[in-house]
Structure 1
């Protein structure tokens, strides 16, 4: 037997084969080398042991995860080579032309469109709805078109301020004329507006339009608005039919829709039908909204049956529902309105005990405002302040992080009752937290300072408001500047207005008017010249009345040349900004390009001549304008018309000549103005016009005849 076979047999005898795993060949020769026979006189050199085997590429799962993260970071910084190679452009799938267009998703709120949305929202929060509407409408004609969320924001703001006609006009402008796609919130805003206007039939037509044309279904909010509108209009049977239609379409039983019907039947003294609907709601929903019990409680209290009302309240508490803050707030209001202060306080403390964010949000700022206002009504000011700072006593509960709305409420109540020092303490407390005072809070403090004749404090607060970048609306600005000028703060008012003019959007022309007149009356002619120069520089309209006033003031001291030099419009004719006639809104460079970037020349013609702008007309028809012509002459603009039609000023012009408008007409049809122009009369049509009638503010009008 050869030596190799002998060694092989001996190795197998010493190391029987394992059934769990196969021995690698290298291990086999390694064993042979180590288990040599004694007869072998040849001593082979020792073979080093093989490296230890590992089951995975990494020693631990954490190491593997760290490596994956490292590779992802590297790919973000250094993309793979194949991603950098030039390849054939990806052709997106062709869209079905018959498929309905979908509204914007939240991913559309990025970049310039998000900046536009935030600007509109800031103007809404500043209560400057006219500027917000103008900005949103003018952006339709720019490269940065508004999203559906921006359109919904300004429409809802108009509705909240009871400007129903403008809300409807904005809906038709954005979604009918400007080719934007509405979502269900847009339709709900329109339905709610029509219902509050008493136009329930029109609201139902909008509902049927959703069913027939929209690529989505109505939401529960749609049925809430419609049922409430039908109940308020005395058409409760149609509201019941709409409820059945909602349930038949597969929608869940909405507590607030049932609550609208229950409230309607209770107002009709039909308690049995209200109880039937309530029982049906409890059968369909294991957990329902406690607002329904609040409706029953209110009705029982009004009937003088406090026992039945409190029984309904206790039956709700026995169910141990986790009620959201709006439901508990409704119960608090009912209890406080009918003298049940003890029960309301117990409910409030229970809400504080259950407040364990982020898991459970049991209270909000409205909850504290309800209780604080109740104590202020009772003139128990000390208890009101204690309630504002109250926290839960239950183990695990957390104090509520008060927001700006809660501070606004208590500061307003303190200022109403002359407790200005306490209001200042709360204002400083707010500024010390990660909260920012808003426009209503500054207005409250400034009004309180002016009422207490603390003009310096009012000036300081107003300066902080301007430096914060908050919008100063025309009505508030004119009133505050009038008080500053009346109290001798001329230099400070001029400096403050200059600071306001450095930011966009620019202050309203009426604010400049008040300051210029005040400075002239105080003899500060140099400062008034500076303000007038800013008005010309920023393209703020100078009214004819203000122009005559300034001429008279400077003429008395023989400074007509200085005034004429400042009001000379030719200085700005070839600069980035061109002065405009009064009634036209300022065009700031930070705003999106208006009307496709086209800017007309709107300076008035004092004599004859012909002025023409050579941009092409995109639609047929003629447009006649708005810039005043004091003498004869012909002024024409060939700016694009977004909609066809004929716009004519048919009023007699005593000075002769034609007037043409440079801005596009948003809706087709004729627009006619019948007011006479006596020589240098003015018809200001600097922006698209929203509705009928003559408009001197320069805001757009959407469609309709003028």
Structure 2
């Protein structure tokens, strides 16, 4: 018994020795006494999940809110638009482009411009390339007013211009002798346009400034061009050298030539475009031998194997230098050589300018029949004369008493589909007056107006003076009535026609003119004109005619105002009667 109790105590002691500590005992909170309780708890939990999903599931299903991005800065509505790339010229817009090009080829520029305008607000908007095609066609025919009108329209319609559009505008302003507007347009291109000017832009601007006798400004633009990273352009230097030669500044020609060689780092310029103007500089200095040596180096015998590249423009400069310095025979030999070498499209040696230079050379030596023969032979090399070509030859013929030949050329313009301009008609009109043909002179002026050309006030005055000088006062008065709505007359124009009518003893017509001036635009009847009219009326005892006209006009104005007031009162009474007829009689009573 003692041994058994000892073993029991020992065993219990050992069991207590290996018993884990109390802190390691983990309570099971999810234990259930029976499986039924566990199943009931699972069902309860599922119901709770269906009614109220867990937060993790909510976070998973909730769409992620985008991070607030910084609000973009509002775009400037006045910022220039970026022009469309040429890749947009596809599909229906390409079809529209081709239809308008077809109208241009058919010389129906009015319809082409109208079609472009109508398409602007359609589902198929023309591209800037289509608009530029129409503008360029109008420029080729010197339709400057129509061109500027179309450009204004497409600009207001939001068609973004490209560099070609700016080049066309620069050409227009420079051709119209508006270099200030051209420089303003260039400044706008530099500061506002989202693109840079091209080399062609600078060529157009510098050539136009030289043609407008602004050589110093052209030199500044040349420096600006090179400052913007463009390489020294021999074509630009040729324009500047030509301008210096026209101003008889031979030293300026040589300085530009040396500057070009220095900037290109070459002892000899291989672009032949400068050699004609370099020859002009030598001729100005009386250095004929050096000029002819330069000629031989460029196109003569010494040019065999030379690296100098000659274009049609380069040839034309040399032709001009020869023909205007007593070397017409050499110019004619070169011209024949150019025609023989001309092999388009691989080699272009002759263009319209080549024929113009030779025609001017013949005219300078009074060889007009040969000039006309060369002029008529342009078609052999597929050259088509333009309005300027006709004007040059017509002017030379008229100034040398060959009006009949000039009129034949004028009639030939219609066959060549070349439109005469104001200069053409004015030249023929002035020559007809000199040849004592006032009827033909007035006919040319009338044709000019009917052709929708715009003669200026100086041309109108020459017409009036020519007609009055030969006693055609009635004809002069008819042209006065025709041009009053079209021209802004000055005091001298009014005084001339009024004085002519007084000299013819037709003061009644003067009174009608004064009456029309006071009714249409009283500002035209200035104090100077009024004093002139009163003085002439006083000489014939009719000095009160002007006062009578003014009193009559004031009376008519008063009667018109009274009539308007009477009609307004009548309208109010009619409105009151209409309202009264709609209301019940008791309310009216």
Q: TM-score, normalised by structure 1?
A: 0.47
Are the counterparts in 2 of residues 265 and 273 from structure 1 also a CA contact under 8 Å?
Answer: no
- Any idea what the Cα deviations from partners look like across 1:504-535, whole Å, max 9, x if unmatched? x4452443442223212221223333433443
Are the counterparts in 2 of residues 255 and 292 from structure 1 also a CA contact under 8 Å?
Answer: yes
Which residue does the alignment assign to 1:489?
472
CA RMSD of aligned residues (A): 5.5
Which residue does the alignment assign to 1:376?
363
Are the counterparts in 1 of residues 261 and 268 from structure 2 also a CA contact under 8 Å?
Answer: no
How far did residue 561 of structure 1 move?
A: 4.2
How far did residue 268 of structure 1 move?
A: 5.7
Are the counterparts in 2 of residues 126 and 471 from structure 1 also a CA contact under 8 Å?
Answer: no
The reply to whether residue 476 of structure 1 matches residue 459 of structure 2 is yes
Which residue does the alignment assign to 2:535?
552
- Any idea what the Cα deviations from partners look like across 1:27-61, whole Å, max 9, x if unmatched? xxxxxxxxxxxxxxxxxxxxxxxxxxxxxxxxxxx
Equivalent position to 1:255, from 215, 219, 234: 234
How far did residue 447 of structure 1 move?
A: 0.9
Alpha-carbon distance between aligned partners in 2 of 1:424 and 1:237, rounded to the nearest angstrom = 44
- Any idea what the Cα deviations from partners look like across 1:189-210, whole Å, max 9, x if unmatched? x6xxxxxxxxxxxxxxx9xx93
Which SS does the other structure have where 1:305 is aligned?
helix
How far did residue 385 of structure 1 move?
A: 2.0
Alpha-carbon distance between aligned partners in 2 of 1:411 and 1:233, rounded to the nearest angstrom = 33
Alpha-carbon distance between aligned partners in 1 of 2:517 and 2:335, rounded to the nearest angstrom = 54
Which SS does the other structure have where 1:389 is aligned?
helix
Matches within 5 A, 1:153-164: none
Matches within 5 A, 1:516-527: 516-527=498-509
Equivalent position to 2:483, from 489, 497, 500: 500
Alpha-carbon distance between aligned partners in 1 of 2:414 and 2:170, rounded to the nearest angstrom = 32
Matches within 5 A, 1:193-272: 210=190, 214-221=193-200, 243=226, 245-246=227-228, 249=229, 251=230, 254-257=233-236, 267=253
Alpha-carbon distance between aligned partners in 1 of 2:449 and 2:219, rounded to the nearest angstrom = 51
**Shift in CA distance, 103/324, structure 1 to aligned 2, threshold 3 Å:** farther
Equivalent position to 1:565, from 529, 537, 549: 549
Matches within 5 A, 1:391-540: 391=378, 397-501=380-484, 505-510=486-491, 511-536=493-518, 538-539=520-521
Which SS does the other structure have where 1:470 is aligned?
coil
Alpha-carbon distance between aligned partners in 2 of 1:150 and 1:566, rounded to the nearest angstrom = 52
Alpha-carbon distance between aligned partners in 1 of 2:83 and 2:437, rounded to the nearest angstrom = 50
Alpha-carbon distance between aligned partners in 2 of 1:294 and 1:483, rounded to the nearest angstrom = 43
Judge which range, 156-165 or 306-315, deviates more: 156-165
The reply to whether residue 310 of structure 1 matches residue 295 of structure 2 is yes
How far did residue 391 of structure 1 move?
A: 4.4
Alpha-carbon distance between aligned partners in 2 of 1:97 and 1:443, rounded to the nearest angstrom = 50
Structure number with higher relative contact order (C-alpha < 8 Å, ≥ 6 residues apart): 1
Alpha-carbon distance between aligned partners in 2 of 1:547 and 1:335, rounded to the nearest angstrom = 59
**Shift in CA distance, 388/252, structure 1 to aligned 2, threshold 3 Å:** same
Are the counterparts in 1 of residues 457 and 487 from structure 2 also a CA contact under 8 Å?
Answer: no
How many residues in Structure 1 have an aligned counterpart in Structure 2?
A: 419
How far did residue 151 of structure 1 move?
A: 9.8
Matches within 5 A, 1:91-106: 96-97=75-76, 100-102=79-81
Which residue does the alignment assign to 1:367?
354
Alpha-carbon distance between aligned partners in 2 of 1:238 and 1:508, rounded to the nearest angstrom = 39
**Shift in CA distance, 362/442, structure 1 to aligned 2, threshold 3 Å:** farther
Q: TM-score, normalised by structure 2?
A: 0.56
How far did residue 434 of structure 1 move?
A: 2.0
Structure 2: where are the runs of 5+ without partners? 1-71, 87-96, 98-112, 121-130, 245-249, 560-589
Structure 1: where are the runs of 5+ without partners? 1-92, 172-185, 191-205, 576-706
